[in-house]
Amino acid sequence: MAQNVITALGDYGCDTQSALERFLGKEELYLKFIRKFLDDTSFDRLKESLGEEDYEGALKNVHTLKGVSGNLGFTALYDVASDMVTKFRAHQDRDAVADYGKLEQIYTEIYSIIEENIS
């Protein structure tokens, strides 16, 4: 069952092999952190920050999401979050906000894959 989520994430385009290497090949440890992703609140806080036009808060939350997604091998999510971080830091807030829709789509797809395939 555990392998299902790793396979499904890999099929989606996540770099699960590199992530497993970061976790020293310890699949159970990797799965533990994948499960924790479901409880991570940085995406929800990012959405709130954007709604309040709190771009400093948005930067903080998207930066956290970038780190989490990078460590877990969620490459597409990492790439968009990284672009948003760069834009917020350059005070290109409108451009960063414009990337949110793509970030939300990828986040939702990854979240669903995990939810459907993890025990």
Walk me through the domains of the chain, giving residue ranges and CATH numbers.
Answer: 2-117 (1.20.120.160)
Around Cβ 39, how many Cβ atoms within 10 Å? Answer: 6
pLDDT tens digits for 52-72?
A: 999 999 999 999 999 999 999
The pLDDT assigned to 17 comes to: 96
| Cβ atoms 103, 49 nearer than 8 A | no
- Residue 33 corresponds to which amino acid? F
Q: Which stretches of the chain drop beneath a pLDDT of 70?
A: 1-2, 119
The pLDDT assigned to 118 comes to: 85
pLDDT tens digits for 24-34?
A: 999 999 999 99
| Cβ atoms 2, 31 nearer than 8 A | yes
